[in-house]
Amino acid sequence: MEEQILTPIIGSEDGQAVLSTWSVKAGDHIDIGQIIGSIETNKAVLDLESTKKGVIKALLVAAGTEIADLQPLVTVIVES
Amino acid sequence: MVKTLAVDPEEVRKSKVIHLGQIPVNSFSQTFIQSLTQLGKDKVIFSFRTMLIIREFELMLEEIKKLGKYQETAFKYAGPAHLSIGQEASAVGQALALDTVDIILGSHRSHGETLAKGLFAIDKLSDQELTKIFEAPETKHIIKNFNSSKITKKEKAIEVFLFGLISEIFGKETGFNKGLGGSMHAFYTPFGIYPNNAIVGGSAPIATGIALYNRVQRKNNVVIANIGDASSACGPVWESMNFAAMGQFKTNKEKKINGGLPIVYFFVNNFYGMGGQPIGETMGYENLARVGAGINPDRLHTEVVDGNNIFAVHDAITRAKKIIAQGKGPVLIDCQTYRFSGHSPSDASSYRTKEEIDSWRDVDPIKILETDILNNNLLLPQEIEEMHLQVKKLTFDAFVKAIDDKISPRLPLHSNPEIIGNLTFNNTSKEIDFSYAAETLMDPLQTQRVKSTNNKSRIGKDQNGILSGVKAITFRDALFEPILEHAIHDDSLVIYGEENRDWGGAFGVYRGLTEVLPSHRLFNSPIAEAAIVGTAVGYAMAGGRALIELMYADFIGRAGDEIFNQLAKWQAMSGGILKLPVVLRISVGSKYGAQHSQDWSSLLTHISGLKVIYPATAFDAKGLMASALESNDPVVFVENQRLYDNVETINISGVPQEYYKIEIGKPAIVRAGKDLTIFSVGACLIRALEAAEVLENKWNISTEVIDARSLVPFDPDLLIKSVSKTKKLICISDACERGNWLHGIMNLIYEKNSNDLENKISSVMAPNWITPAAEQEWNYFPSVENILDAVLDQGITLLGRVRTIQNDSLNNFKKGI
């Protein structure tokens, strides 16, 4: 079953943020809580943690892309 | 950056007992002969004579206050006299152990401390050094009517010093600080005497800041914070002791600056406040010294010392200096002594018995030392008698000169009342030196923050519209840029406040600075606003430059005395001798309700001695922050949290990359117009511009919008000219209506534009009650709708629009809201 990992609600004034780096790629196995990338806001650089366990089907945004709160970032084939 | 101090649950949850250890009481056991052998006859005699001088000095003031004369010479003195008769050994024992470069700050009754430190400095300094000091620009006003050739003789130097102190107490221009400080604020920095304080415990935060300066600048001298026993109840005193003992001074991983701050908290414990007794009445500790055990595992090396024995006090300070030299400070000394005199000359001592006073007179420190000196044949009785007479003459000679208006005039405030006003600000600056490289941990260009910022557009919009804050320079970035420049080019600049390191400040302004600056120049303070501001005052007083932050404007009350009485007043109280280059960043919150969202900018403008800046655009934020950081005056830099993420869309050329300054005190026309002027303070500018846009588009009304940018100082010429042109004025501010800074501006415009105004000036301000919750904020702060209502009040017809809210200002006034 496919599920998506979303941008967390960052709490910055207007949700402005950039997906600055990916530390995983399509095909990688990821676990819940694993750091899969970083998000840079004007206030801080934050770790992006996986909320799913499974295999990455696709990264939906490229590094350097501006992202919004709750935007889908990763499609994961989740393990049952 | 992530912290390295791990919090281990296994350790935290273990069962154990915390041992507080022991605090020695009167452990000094040396005999007089042993002390004499250690110190030598000359020092002992000099100490004795210094005690006599202090006693006579205080008796002089007591006689003047009670009888209106001294040695039959009449003089009326209206000011305060908090005397320390009986406490001479604590002051002299302390000074006996200090070097000239060591620094003291005085207590509430500080004449003795000042005299002792001064006289020992004179004793140690050479004639040439004394001449240089007395003739220095900051101090030569004292001797302007003296024949300076004679001052090199030490005895004459003592008389000059007494004269300077008496003149200061009597409010004379020849006083240490030109008579603007008076009895409780005298100081003389060339001898290591920094300000005394009329606020109980007020010396503690300032002294701690001077100790911070000494540590950061790697100086070896110690600082003594003289404070009374009753100040042990004061929050800022506790905050200061904790600040000096912060764990990070021992654990910072760079190991560049290590050890607690080099300071002694010297409690002159005379067992009384004014009349209340800390021990047994107003405090629960039973022994003042116990507070040391609450601060750190070393118990601040606290000792209780017999303050009537100069040798015990000398011994305690000498050992404290050794502890501090090893990086193990701070130290607390509970110096127990007694004042025979009342709190002040009007004190009838109704709170204590004659028997108690007499029992302490039996252990009068002067009597004790005099007996030892006589018993050991250091002086003959007639020599002591001569010394008493000579001290009386010395004091009288200084007194007579100090009351002589020819030798010691007053500042001519009657003919020139602005003398004090002109000492409020020095209006000088220290320009950034780009050729100097301060100590850094890494090249700032390699930090993620600077890399990101350098990739951003300097202008906040492009052909597609407004850019987001990750694509264009924000207000937050604009603040960061000059701060970074100053940080990497000025080692004297320290930056601190709550969560400033690692986190980068609660709103991320300092993000990236942690990687660049060593932890002694950028650090997290305790949540202790009084200590944050008070230490910055001391740090600046000592010669440094401090950038400090109170997370929310609502917290200024926590640093009330330090902002209102210390930061704001010391430049003028010092007669312009001291400079206080402190930038106090304060953010006005939003969405956080009553205690985190109030705009206190108007309150700050009420405090004489603070420059107040309140930018609303990224361009202004950068240029004004640069000016604030170069300023040698105290500046409160107000930032509104609504603005941090704003990109620059108002100044069309954007935010220049290079360093630039905007003059403090100059407003700006943000939008030109001819029908109406809107004058805006702080973040209201955004709403003012929005209203102007609506007026233009819907009703073809041309609005001129002026942003105050600075509140103190403020040059009104631009506004006056604008109102001459538009003949209509609306003023807006997020601060509460009552006491709003804008009322003064409005009065000025009524005066200067009396023939121009077609209507009474309209104002839109927050009401005189609490800020509601986030969802209701726009029913409280001035909104575009409120501004449009004010336009109706100007007699301008806005077709199709009726007033949305009715104001009942008269009734609100009666109700007190």
Nearest chain A CA: its distance from B453 CA (Å): 9
| Farthest CA pair distance, chain B | 102
Q: What does the pLDDT look like over B370-419, one tens digit per residue?
A: 999 999 999 999 999 999 999 999 999 999 999 999 999 999 999 999 99
Which residues numbered 15-34 in A keep a CB inside 8 Å of some CB on B? Answer: 16-18, 20
Asked if the structure places residue B599 within a domain, the reply is: yes
Q: What was the pLDDT predicted at B341?
A: 87
Q: Is residue B780, in this structure, part of any structural domain at all? A: yes
Last residue in a domain, options B409, B424, B457: B409
Question: Residue B255 above 70 pLDDT?
Answer: no
Q: Decide if pLDDT at A12 tops 60.
A: no
CATH of the domain at B169: 3.40.50.970
Residue B200 contacts residue B210 (beta carbons within 8 Å)? no
Q: Which helix (H) or strand (E) holds A57?
A: strand A54-59
Mutant choice from B645, B646, B648, B686 vs A, greatest count of A C-beta within 10 A? B645
Residues from chain A that touch B648, judged by Cβ atoms under 8 A, are none
Structure confidence at residue B216 as a pLDDT band (50, 70, 90)? very high
Return d(Cα B187, Cα B176) in angstroms, integer. 6
Max distance between CA atoms of chain A, in angstroms, equals: 37
From chain B, the residues in CB contact with A43 under 8 A are 476, 504, 507-508, 511
Residues of B in contact with A18 (CB under 8 A): 470
Q: Which residues pair with B338 in a beta bridge?
A: none
pLDDT at B1 over 70: no
pLDDT at B668 over 60: yes
The tally of domains found in chain B comes to: 3
CB neighbour class for B348 (10 Å; exposed up to 12, middle 13-18, buried from 19): exposed
- How far apart (Å, rounded) are the C-alpha atoms in residues B489 and B201? 35
pLDDT-derived band at B156 (thresholds 50, 70, 90) equals confident
Strand order in the sheet with B303-306: B193-194, B103-105, B223-228, B263-269, B331-336, B303-306
pLDDT of residue B146: 75
Q: What pLDDT sits at residue B700?
A: 97
Size of interface A-B (CB pairs under 8 A): 43
Identify the DSSP state of B713. S
More confident residue, B815 or B805: B815
Confidence of residue B310 (pLDDT cuts 50, 70, 90): very high
Nearest CA in chain A to B591: A13
For residues B18 and A75, what is the distance between their CA atoms, to the nearest angstrom?
Answer: 53
Nearest residue of chain B to residue A11 (CA atoms): B507
User: Going by C-beta distance under 8 Å and a sequence separation of 6 or more, which residues neighbour residue B518?
Assistant: B254, B256, B257, B439, B440, B441
pLDDT digits (tens, 9 = 90+) for B770-790: 999 999 999 999 999 999 999
Beta strands (DSSP E) in B282-363 are 303-306, 331-336
Q: Which residue of B has its CA nearest to A40?
A: B470
Q: Are residues B180 and B318 in the same domain?
A: yes
Residue A46, chain B, CB below 8 Å: the answer is no
% of chain B beyond a pLDDT of 90: 88
Range(s) of the domain holding residue B143: 32-409
Omega prior to B409 cis, within 30 of 0: no
Please give the positions of B annotated as active site: 596
Give mean pLDDT, residues B600-610.
Answer: 97
Is residue B346 over pLDDT 90? Answer: no
Instruction: Report the CATH number at residue B756.
Output: 3.40.50.920
Residues whose CB falls within 8 Å of the CB of residue A41, separated by 6 or more in sequence, listed in order: A10, A12, A16, A17, A18, B470, B508
Task: Tell me which CATH code domain A2-78 carries.
Answer: 2.40.50.100
Q: Is residue B88 part of a domain?
A: yes
Please tell me the distance from the alpha carbon of residue B32 to that of residue B92, in angstroms, as a whole number: 16
pLDDT of residue B460 exceeding 60: yes
pLDDT band at B147 (very low <50, low <70, confident <90, very high): low
Give the residue among B477, B396, B436, B448 at the shortest CA–CA distance from B657: B477
Determine the angle formed by the axes of helices B235-244 and B529-541, rounding to 10 degrees.
70
Rounded to 10 deg, the angle between the B381-403 and B365-375 helix axes is: 140
For residues B221-234, give the mean pLDDT. 96
Residue B711, domain member (yes or no): yes
**Complex ipTM, two decimals?**
0.76
DSSP element (H, E) containing B314: helix B310-325
| Residues B264, B261: Cα–Cα separation, whole Å | 9
pLDDT at B808: 81
Given a cut of 90, is residue B667 above it in pLDDT?
A: yes
Distance CA B647, CA B469 (A): 6
Residue indicated by tokens 């950028």: B522
* Non-local CB neighbours of B118 within 8 Å, separated by 6+ positions: B161, B165, B188, B191, B193
Take residue B588 and report the two structure tokens written for it. 């006005």
Residues B378, B462, single domain; the answer is no
What pLDDT score does B151 carry? Answer: 56
Contact A42 B448 (CB under 8 A): no
Q: How confident is the model at residue B149 (pLDDT cuts 50, 70, 90)?
A: low
Q: What is the 3-state secondary structure (H, E, C) of B205-223?
A: HHHHHHHHHHHHCCCCCCE
Cβ separation B471–A40 shorter than 8 A: no
- Kindly give, in sequence order, each residue whose CB lies less than 8 Å from that of residue B650, ignoring residues fewer than 6 positions away: B616, B617, B619, B670, B685, B689
Question: Which residues of chain B neighbour A65 with C-beta distances below 8 Å?
Answer: none
Asked if pLDDT for residue B752 goes beyond 80, the answer is yes
The whole-number average pLDDT for the span A5-18 is 77
CA A4 to chain centre: 9
Res. B501: pLDDT tops 80: yes
Where residue B528 falls among pLDDT bands split at 50, 70, 90?
Answer: very high
Rounded CA-CA distance B497/B513 in Å is 13
Q: What is the spatial distance between Cα B447 and Cα B434, in angstroms, rounded to a whole number?
A: 20
**Residue A15, SS3 per DSSP:** coil
Amino acid identity at B758: E
- Spell out which chain B residues touch chain A, with contact meaning CB-CB distance below 8 angstroms: 448, 452, 468-471, 474, 476-477, 503-504, 507-508, 511, 641-642, 644-645
Cα(B369)–Cα(B88) distance, rounded to whole angstroms? Answer: 11
So what's the pLDDT on residue A45? Answer: 85
Residue at a domain's end among B359, B383, B409 = B409
Are B78 and B210 found together in one domain?
yes
Residue B508 lies in a domain: yes
Question: pLDDT tens across B415-450, in order?
Answer: 999 999 999 999 999 999 999 999 999 999 999 999
Of B643, B660, B683, at which residue does a domain stop? Answer: B643
How confident is the model over B464-488, as pLDDT tens digits?
A: 999 989 899 999 999 999 999 999 9
Q: Is the pLDDT of residue B172 over 80?
A: yes
Report the SS3 class of residue A41.
coil
pLDDT digits (tens, 9 = 90+) for A27-57: 999 999 999 999 988 888 889 999 999 999 9
> What is the rounded distance in angstroms from the CA atom of residue B114 to the CA atom of residue B500?
37
Q: Does B651 have pLDDT greater than 90?
A: yes
| Residues B609 and B705 placed together within one structural domain of the fold | no
